[in-house]
């Protein structure tokens, strides 16, 4: 009988043939033993093939991981390049900021004494000027002086407040306004309505309208005017308080004699 005439795998047939040869030589080996050896060898071959297949799958997975890692590395390279450019730009900006800070420090050293002189001039001007809202203006100058001495206020803010104070003083010279205040007339304190027409004239009138006067620049005191200015000053106070339409307003102006 031909051992390989049955439908067995070629590998088994080869093993069977080999085993048959061995059996011929040994003489004691049975056919069942030969097929058992063939099946065992075939199982070992299948196990080896399974290991090869597993290694192939693992290799394929490793290759996929390798390609993914390469993409990640390339992405990191691009990101690092962007970060390097960003860092370089920030370093340039920091250098410019340091340079500007050095310039600002130099400017501060020049501006600080300038502001001190400006506030000193403002204080002197208020003392010498006609007494328009004098208490309010002196209080503003004191606050400004205190601000200059503070370390928690930026130099730019200090300078802004100084300029604002100068602007307010400048506005007094162009305004028509009235307010209620207390003045000394010939040693008598009284509460009156005060009218100022820029810095051209500073006048007052009692609340009952019985007395009208003005600030004498030369003698630096309040003095009474005759009744000819009574109606004009009353109308001026009403115009300043938006109680009457603006109109021509006659005011006393004393001219200094030329020497």
Lowest-pLDDT range, 10-19, 54-63, 136-145, 213-222?
A: 10-19
Of these ranges, 94-98, 153-157, 180-184, the one predicted with the greatest mean pLDDT is: 180-184
Q: Any idea of the CA torsion for 131, 136, 140, 142, to the nearest 10 degrees?
A: 80
- Mean pLDDT over 191-218 rounds to 94
User: Could you read off the pLDDT of 84-122 as tens digits, one per residue?
Assistant: 888 888 888 888 877 776 666 667 778 889 999 999 999
Residue 57 or 228, more confident: 228
User: What does pLDDT average to over the chain?
Assistant: 83
Asked if 201 and 213 count as a contact pair (C-beta separation under 8 A), the reply is: no
Cα–Cα distance between 122 and 172 in angstroms, integer? 14
Is residue 194 assigned to a domain? Answer: yes
pLDDT value for 6: 47
Is residue 63 assigned to a domain? Answer: no
pLDDT value for 167: 95
Asked if 203 and 228 count as a contact pair (C-beta separation under 8 A), the reply is: no
Domain with 257 in it: 176-259
Q: Report pTM.
A: 0.59
**Residue 216 carries which DSSP code?**
E
Asked if 239 and 247 count as a contact pair (C-beta separation under 8 A), the reply is: yes
Residue 79 confidence class, pLDDT cut points 50, 70, 90: confident
- Mean pLDDT over 45-62 rounds to 76
Is residue 208 assigned to a domain? Answer: yes
Asked if 144 and 165 count as a contact pair (C-beta separation under 8 A), the reply is: yes
Counting the structural domains of the chain, the total is 1
**Beta strand pairing call for 176-185 and 188-197:** antiparallel
Residue 169 or 41, more confident: 169
Cα–Cα distance between 201 and 216 in angstroms, integer? 9
Is residue 186 assigned to a domain? Answer: yes
Is residue 102 assigned to a domain? Answer: no
Is residue 198 assigned to a domain? Answer: yes
| HSE toward the beta carbon, residue 181, CA cutoff 13 A | 19
Is residue 35 assigned to a domain? Answer: no
**Residue 225 carries which DSSP code?**
P
Residue tagged 């003698």 (tokens): 219
In sequence order, which residues have a C-beta less than 8 Å from that of residue 155 and are 6 or more positions away? 108, 111, 112
CB burial class (10 A; 0-12, 13-18, 19+) of residue 179? Answer: middle
Is residue 151 assigned to a domain? Answer: no
């Amino acid at each position: 009988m031909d051992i390989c005439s049955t439908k067995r795998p070629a590998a088994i047939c080869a093993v069977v043939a080999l085993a048959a040869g061995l059996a011929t030589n040994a003489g004691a080996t049975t056919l069942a033993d030969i097929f058992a050896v063939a099946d065992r060898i075939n199982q070992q071959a299948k196990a080896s093939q399974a290991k090869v297949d597993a290694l192939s799958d693992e290799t394929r997975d490793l290759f996929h991981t390798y390609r993914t890692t390469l993409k990640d590395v390339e992405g990191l390279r691009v990101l690092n390049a962007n970060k390097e450019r960003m860092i370089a730009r920030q370093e340039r900006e920091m250098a410019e900021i340091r340079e500007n800070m050095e310039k600002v420090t130099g400017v501060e050293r020049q501006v600080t004494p300038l502001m001190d002189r400006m506030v000193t001039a403002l204080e002197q001007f208020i003392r010498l000027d006609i007494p328009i809202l004098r208490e309010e203006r002196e209080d503003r100058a004191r606050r400004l002086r205190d601000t200059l001495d503070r370390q928690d206020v930026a130099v730019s803010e200090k300078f802004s407040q100084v300029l604002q104070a100068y602007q307010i003083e400048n506005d007094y010279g162009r305004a028509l306004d009235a307010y209620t205040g207390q003045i000394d007339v010939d040693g008598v304190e009284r509460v009156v309505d005060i009218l100022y027409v820029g810095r051209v004239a500073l006048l007052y009138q009692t609340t009952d309208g019985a007395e009208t006067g003005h600030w004498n620049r030369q003698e630096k005191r309040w003095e009474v005017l005759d009744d000819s200015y009574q109606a004009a000053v009353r109308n001026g106070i009403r115009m300043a308080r938006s109680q009457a339409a603006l109109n021509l307003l006659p005011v006393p102006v004393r001219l200094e004699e030329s020497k």
